[in-house]
């Protein structure tokens, strides 16, 4: 489902009327977000700014360095973290626990170059055979998703066979080499696949192999823009935001 600009603005205005409402004070808030949510956040931040007049400065960072920056005292207003890292930030006194809301989860999928044959990966055996047949396999070298993928290769017993074919790629860059024909397939987060031109999403990993990453949003205890942060939180967890997430490969929380 894809919502056009005018329709989305209308839905978001309705959400604001029922939520915290627009403020006469135009604030600028800083958001920390993982690259896997870049397609969603780019869209939602634009709509939020159009509707409210607030500005959002977004920094896209992989989870480990983001969590370390927060722990060491980084200045921010709102952050999107995995549920485990969010709890750690609360324990460190960095995130207001009353502000936390789950926003969605992402799973992994397989990408091939646009127009290339799509292997059947609907079963664990089919996925395994597709990897064994591939000449090269790209994956995100750093971050939670990459670690989960390597662990999954070990779990299905093909780690040794695929190791010579693995192409570790930097966070946010695991798909472009497939589009350029430099890597045959890539296994990475579904939103990261869907945002890149020149590739096709073969499909999600089979259910028994899927590793979901759950994201939550929370406000910094040091934020001085509580009203704008609350408004942003309410809007990105609204039904309109859920529609955007679904269109970009993110599964919103159950309603």
**pLDDT digit string, tens, across residues 113-128:** 999 999 999 999 999 9
Residues of 107-145 as b/e, b for ≥16 C-beta within 10 angstroms?
bbbbbbbeeeeebebeebeebbebbeebebbbbbbbbbb
- For 161, other C-beta atoms within 10 Å of its C-beta total 12
Nearest 5 degrees, angle CA 215-CA 99-CA 247?
35
pLDDT for res 6: 47
Task: Sort residue 213 into left (φ over 0), alpha (ψ -120 to 50) or beta.
Answer: beta
Residues of 169-197 as b/e, b for ≥16 C-beta within 10 angstroms?
bebbbbbbbbbeeebbbbbbbbbbbbbbe
pLDDT for res 64: 85
Averaged pLDDT, 235-251: 92
Q: How does residue 4 score in pLDDT terms, banded at 50, 70 and 90?
A: very low
Instruction: CATH 3.40.190.10 in the chain: give the residue spans.
Output: 5-105+214-247, 108-209
> % helix / strand / coil in the chain, to the nearest 5?
45, 25, 35
Q: Which CATH code for domain 108-209?
A: 3.40.190.10
The pTM of this model reads 0.81
Residues 167-210 pLDDT 10s: 988 766 789 999 999 999 999 889 989 989 999 999 999 988 98
Residue of 235, 240, 219 lying closest to 89 (CA atoms): 219
Which one has a higher pLDDT value, 35 or 23? Answer: 35
Q: Which CATH code for domain 5-105+214-247?
A: 3.40.190.10
């Amino acid at each position: 489902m894809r919502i056009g600009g005018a329709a989305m603005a209308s839905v978001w205005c309705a959400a604001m009327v029922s939520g915290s409402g627009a403020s006469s004070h135009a604030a600028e808030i800083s958001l920390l977000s993982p690259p896997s949510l870049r397609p969603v956040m780019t869209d939602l931040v634009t709509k939020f700014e159009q509707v409210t007049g607030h500005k959002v400065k977004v920094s896209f960072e992989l989870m480990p360095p983001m969590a370390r920056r927060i722990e060491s005292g980084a200045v921010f207003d709102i952050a999107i973290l995995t549920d485990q890292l969010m709890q750690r930030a609360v324990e460190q006194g960095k995130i207001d626990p009353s502000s936390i809301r789950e926003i969605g989860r992402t799973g992994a999928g397989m990408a091939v170059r646009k127009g290339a044959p799509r292997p059947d990966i609907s079963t664990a055996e089919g996925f395994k055979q597709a990897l064994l047949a591939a000449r090269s396999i790209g994956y995100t070298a750093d971050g939670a998703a990459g670690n989960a993928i390597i662990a999954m290769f070990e779990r299905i017993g093909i780690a040794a066979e695929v190791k010579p074919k693995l192409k570790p790629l930097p966070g946010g860059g695991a798909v472009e080499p497939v589009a350029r024909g430099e890597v045959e397939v890539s296994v990475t987060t579904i939103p990261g696949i869907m945002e890149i031109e020149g590739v096709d999403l073969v499909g999600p990993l089979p259910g028994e192999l899927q590793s979901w990453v759950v994201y939550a949003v929370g406000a910094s205890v040091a934020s001085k823009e509580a009203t704008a942060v609350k408004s942003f939180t309410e809007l990105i967890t609204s039904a309109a935001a859920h529609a955007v997430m679904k269109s970009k490969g993110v599964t919103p929380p159950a309603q």
